[in-house]
Amino acid sequence: MNQFLNNHKEKEQVSYDELLVENKKYDLVLFNDDVNTFDWVIECLMKICNHDEIQAEQSAFIVHYKGKCTVKSGEWEVLEPMHKALSNCDLSVEII
């Protein structure tokens, strides 16, 4: 009986670990550059990441003063198209 319980616990642990991997959250990080204007960055964040104007402005200022800012968090599949679109707008972004 004890062996049955141990095997059951191991199976539960594997399933839980697999669930954690599947639901892992990533960050889409925008990096500062000396090329893009605040207005362009704000416009891109509003259009691509669905930020409202205030959130986009705050992110742009954080990027300017801190060098980088997480602009979105979530699953890889959600962030990948945003990463591609922001990159196509000549913004420097990375999924971490």
State pLDDT tens for residues 50-90: 999 999 999 999 999 999 999 999 999 999 999 999 999 99
The pTM of the full predicted model, rounded to 2 decimals, is 0.76
pLDDT of residue 94: 98
- 3-state DSSP of 48-77: HHCCCHHHHHHHHHHHHHHCEEEEEEECHH
**Mean per-residue pLDDT, 27-43:** 97
Give residue 3's pLDDT band: very low, low, confident or very high (50, 70, 90). low
Average pLDDT over residues 22-40: 92
pLDDT confidence of residue 2: 53
Domains annotated on the chain, with CATH? 24-95 (3.30.1390.10)
